[in-house]
Each structure stands twice: as structure tokens, then as C-alpha cells.
Amino acid sequence: MPINDFFRIHSGCCRAACEASKYIFLACPLWLLGCDGPQSALEPAGRAAERIANLFWWMTAGGVFFWIAVIALAIWAVRTPPEAHNQRRASLLIIGAGAVVPTIVVAVLAIYGLAPIPVLLAPAPEGSLRITVSGEQWWWRVRYQLPGSDPVVLANEIRLPVGEPVEFRLESPDVNHSFWIPSLGGKIDMIPGRVTRLSLTPTKTGVFRGACAEYCGTSHALMSFYVVVEDKETFERWLAHQQTPAPPPSTPIAAHGQELFLANGCGACHTIRGTGANGLVGPDLTHVGSRLSLGAGILPNDLQSFVKWIASTEHAKPGALMPEFGMLPQEELQALAAYLKRLH
């Protein structure tokens, strides 16, 4: 098709594309308003996340630059009278801008995009903190592997010392999950029968949010966790405290709650170190009262949420393995909540 006819036929499409692009371009800053907060890859607080955010901004800048160049060319083509286009210039433009430039751009972007991968996948140095996280349906089992002593087991919360590399060993007993703390780094799948590894180095203190990034069943969207990055001294104090058994109940209502906990068989699934409860199916509750959330990031950690969780688990997290205990009288639910909330 002669180039003049091509432009004549496509000028209508170009105008429509120009109009649409203008609105998309104007809307971009609005989308970016939602890109900060505790779960944002664009507000990095870790070494790997910084590299990923850098890559994102360079890719975005490159995309915007070439988008403007293409739109400018389209506008120029539409506004120039068809007779002004000559065949030789058009052929050069098609070969140059249609084949040579895209090949160079894609090659540069591929090299630049792949370059950080060895850095992102590099293992943490020998002697670094090692944490095993298992993706469960639908919560996170967290084990701090400590040389020379038993692992410290908790759930749905990870604490890290700032500036120190940490290696996560990630596993799953049944279905695929994906472990992702956007503020600290990239995500990696948790695959049954395999151990995947992810090394991260947090660079800022704060509370960040992680999530499951792979559809894993009914409550996939209700499977989050908090990551607290703190100075080394505070972290070590916290870890030492996590190793201790649960404190004995300090009030009559909490003591009643402990009796109910043991009498209702909760200990068949949950461990509370220092009591007869040593089940391994559900989350370890030894220090549950001190965690930032309940139900894997979905409820605040308060008395009301404990009652809600115990009495209507299915409503709070559809498909959860824990049976509901809504048949218990309100007074017993309150006692259970009082006991668990005091497990600091």
C-alpha cells in the first residue's frame, strides 16, 4: 500500500489513539497516589526492593519517553499533507523506527532487567539469620532457626534486625503460595516438596506488610502478615522473649480461660509452651497476645477479635481448617479471649 494511502486510512485511528492516550497520561499521577504505605514496592525499605524500584522507574521512564515519541510521530504524520510524505523517507522511517530502534531498545531493556537477578537471588552470607516460613491454609508458620537451640516458632509475624541479611527458607505442606514483602524485596513461590530460598536485607526500621501472591484457595486474599524491622538490640530482646514459655494466667478470668482452652481440646491443634497444649496443626499461640494481628493480618489483636475468631471462624476466614466454637456461651468466649490476649 502506498504510504500516503496508509496515512489517509489510519489518520482516524491515530486521532482516536491520541485522544485516549491523553486521558491515560493525565490519569497516571492519580494511580501513583496509591503507591506508598507499608505494602508498596515503590517505597522500598530493603536492598532488593531498592533495585526493583529502580528498575521499575527506569522502565517507566523509558516507556513514557518512547510513548511520547510514537505519539509525536503519529501527530506529525496525521498533520502533514499526504503529498509531503515521500516514499524513500517513509521506508527509512519504517526500517529505522520500526525495526532497528525497537531491537536496540528491547536488547538494552532485557540486559538491564536481567542484570539484578544474580544480586536478588544471591544467598545470605554464612552465619546470617535463618527463618523457615511455611505457607499454610491460610496463614504463615514462622520458625527462627537458632544455632545450638530449639527453633522459635510463631505465626503470621516476622521480626528482623535492620541492616542485617536474612535468609528465608520457604516451604508448603500442600498447595502453592507465594511469599512477598513488597517493601523489602521480590516474591518467590512456596512449593510443596521443595524448599525455595529468598535473601533480604532490610534497610529501614518500621512495620511492613507481606501477602500471599499466588492464588492458593478460598481465603488466599485473607493471608497476610506483618514484618517488624527494628534495631538489633530490640530484635534480640524480642527473640529471647519468644523463646520463653507462656506466662501463667494472671487473673481469675484468664485462669478460667486456660481451663476452657484445655477442656475444649484446643491443645490438639495449638501449642502454648508451658501448658499441656502441644498441637501442631494450627498456629503456635505461646505469645499470641503480643502479635500485631489475628487470623493472619485480617483482624486487630484485641479481645473482641478473639471472640469473633473463635465463635465465627468460617465467617472471618472462609474455608479455614479451624472449627467454629460459636456454641460456647458468651461468658466462656470472653474468658478464652481474656486468657489468649494476656499471652504476651
Given the rule CB under 6 A, which residues bind ligand CUA?
135, 138, 177, 212, 214-216, 220, 223
Dist CA 49 CA 324 (whole Å): 39
Least distance in angstroms from the C-beta of 216 to ligand CUA: 3
Residue closer to ligand CUA (CB basis): 154 or 170: 170
For residue 187, the minimal CB distance to ligand CUA (Å) is 11
Which one-letter amino acid corresponds to residue 148? Answer: G
Identify the CA nearest to 265 among candidates 320, 221, 217, 325: 325
CA nearest neighbour of 208 among 44, 48, 51: 44
Q: Report how far residue 99's alpha carbon sits from residue 78's, in angstroms, rounded to the nearest whole number.
A: 21
d(CA 326, CA 313): 9
Contact 162, 230 (CB under 8 A): yes
Nearest distance in Å: CB 151, ligand CUA:
22
Which cell numbers hold the place of 63?
A: 516507556
The alpha carbon of residue 292 and the mean position of all alpha carbons in its chain are separated, in whole angstroms, by: 16
Residue 157 or 214 with smaller CB distance to ligand CUA: 214
Non-local CB neighbours of 292 within 8 Å, separated by 6+ positions: 157, 207, 226, 228, 301
Question: Mapping DSSP to helix (H, G, I), strand (E, B) and coil, where does residue 319 land?
Answer: coil
Q: Could you tell me the smallest distance in angstroms from the CB atom of residue 131 to ligand CUA?
A: 17
Task: Compare residues 214 and 332 and give the one whose CB is closer to ligand CUA.
Answer: 214
Q: Which is nearer to ligand CUA, 222 or 272 (CB)?
A: 222
Cβ(182)–Cβ(39) below 8 Å? yes
CB of 222 to ligand CUA, least distance (A): 9
Residue closer to ligand CUA, measured from CB, 78 or 299: 299
Of 223 and 343, nearer to ligand CUA (C-beta) is: 223
CB of 20 to ligand CUA, least distance (A): 34
Q: Which is nearer to ligand CUA, 156 or 286 (CB)?
A: 156
CB proximity list for 186: less than 8 A, separation 6 or greater? 48, 49, 52, 120, 180, 198
Instruction: Single out the residue of 10, 161, 149 nearest to residue 85, CA to CA.
Output: 10
| Residue linked to cell 515521500 | 86
Least distance between ligand CUA and beta carbon 314 (Å): 18
CB of 47 to ligand CUA, least distance (A): 25
Which CB sits closer to ligand CUA, 44 or 210?
210
Residue 223, burial from CB neighbour count under 10 angstroms (0-12, 13-18, 19+): buried
